[in-house]
Each structure stands twice: as C-alpha cells, then as structure tokens.
Amino acid sequence: MSLVIDDVRFSYGKHLVLDGVSLEVQEGTFCALLGPNGSGKSTLTKVVAGVHRPASGGVRFRGDDVLGLGRRAHARLIGYVPQSAEVPFDLTVREAVLLGRTPHFGIGPGRADWERVDEAIGLLGLEELEGRSISQLSGGQAQRVLVARAIAQDTRVLLLDEPTSALDLRYQIETLQLVRQITRSHGITALIAIHDLNHAGRFCDQAVLLHRGRIQRAGTPAEAFDEAALADIYGLDVTVEERDGYVEVRPVVHELELQR
C-alpha cells in the first residue's frame, strides 16, 4: 500500500519544473522533498494536492487514481498545508481548524467533528489562541493553525509545503515530531517540502533530492545524503556524518577573499 507518483511533468508556461518525476512512498512513511529553490519540491506537493494539473503522468494511492477524484473525495484522502497561512475569511482559530472537517459532514458539524477539532488544537498547542481571529496571529501562529486544520481533516496522505519556514526553533521541532508520530501511529503517508537537511535527516524516514525538476537521489537520509551529490546539487561542499542513528550535514565554510 503506497502513494505512487508516476512520470509527472509540469511546466509554468514554457518553463519545465517537473521533468518526469517518479516516486513511491509507503504508508506510515514521513518523506522529505529537498532541493534548492526552484528544484520543484513545492510544485510536486501542489500536483499531489490537486492545486496544479500535470501535463502528463499520474498519482495513485492504493492503486486508485488520485487526480481523477472529485473534490470532496480528494479532500477526504489528502490534507494539504500550503506555505501561505492565508484563510479566505476572518475566522477564529477554532473555526479555521473546523474547515478541515468539511469533507466529512453534511449540513453542519457534529459532536465528533468538534472533538477532532479540539484534539488538533491541543496537539498544536493552540488552546490559548482558539478564540482569536486568524488576522490577529503572527505568521508562525497562523501556520500552526493550518497544520491543525490538516490534522483535523483525518486524511490518509498529508502534504506539507515548507510548514516550518515561519516557525521558531521550538515549534519547528514540535511540528516535525508531531507529524512523525502521526505517520507511525496512524499509518499515514506524509510528504514535506523542506529546506533544512538536518531536520529531514533527524525526523524523516525517506529523503528525495530534487534538482532541476528531476530526482537526483532517494532513499533513507543516510542513503540519499551523499557528500558529492549534495555538493553538486547545492553548489557547496559539505560533510555528512551519522550520529546516534541520525544523519547530520555540515557545510564546509571557506573564508571569502574580498577584492581590494
């Protein structure tokens, strides 16, 4: 049972961003999509999320065509946390998290829906903010609300597009720990577009390195984080070490010679 991305191609106008990307992620796996800016990692999450339609290729989950699902069925299967923390209406935190339950209820939410909302709010530590308007929150707080909304959605696939970029260090770690725990305890497939190699090496089971729209390396972080490959992809010398079962990447910093 797995999420399969098969030979996906996508362009913004004439600019090819994804060039035949194929990837398989097993259920219960936390997979990191990594690469420099413009490598295609965020675009790939948008394709799986149904935000973008690929020019060719497909996405399947448990053998079913994900891209052919109706909007409601897609929302029951896949939860998506975008980079932007914008919410279309001026809602309270609790109301915004409830949006994640809309694929599951008819005319209005029931008791079970509100219980899932409160559980997600508690997991993200948002209890003190639940009555506040989204417009009154910081960028990091609003981003945590979007993660809570996706968790309340109760999907089988969770997509996160750089969800930690606006968070301070504490909430970066807590969010990644939470996603890892959910994938393992509930058998959820999670993909995260992320820049931090060390966060990926510590919290993720699978790492995929994208460059110029193609997958360059994939496997466990220990398998994917090859020093020569990282140097080629990022244009920076690095060292890679395994410590206490985790992979650590360190840049090799050279002093700049300033011209006089």
pLDDT tens profile 9-29? 999 988 999 999 999 999 999
Write the DSSP string, 153-184: T--SEEEEESTTTTS-HHHHHHHHHHHHHHHH
pLDDT tens profile 131-144? 999 888 888 888 88
Q: What is the predicted pLDDT for the residue at 87?
A: 63
Contacts of 242 (CB under 8 A, 6+ apart): 222, 248
In which residue ranges of the chain is pLDDT below 70?
Answer: 1, 84-89, 256-260
Q: Where are the domains of the chain?
A: 2-83+155-251
Q: What is the predicted pLDDT for the residue at 89?
A: 66
Q: What is the predicted pLDDT for the residue at 159?
A: 94
Whole-angstrom distance, CA of residue 52 vs CA of residue 40: 12
Contacts of 131 (CB under 8 A, 6+ apart): 92, 93, 94
Whole-angstrom distance, CA of residue 27 vs CA of residue 240: 28
Q: How many CB atoms lie within 10 A of CB 1?
A: 11
Q: Which CATH number fits domain 2-83+155-251: 1.10.3720.10, 1.20.58.1610, 3.40.630.10, 3.40.50.300?
A: 3.40.50.300
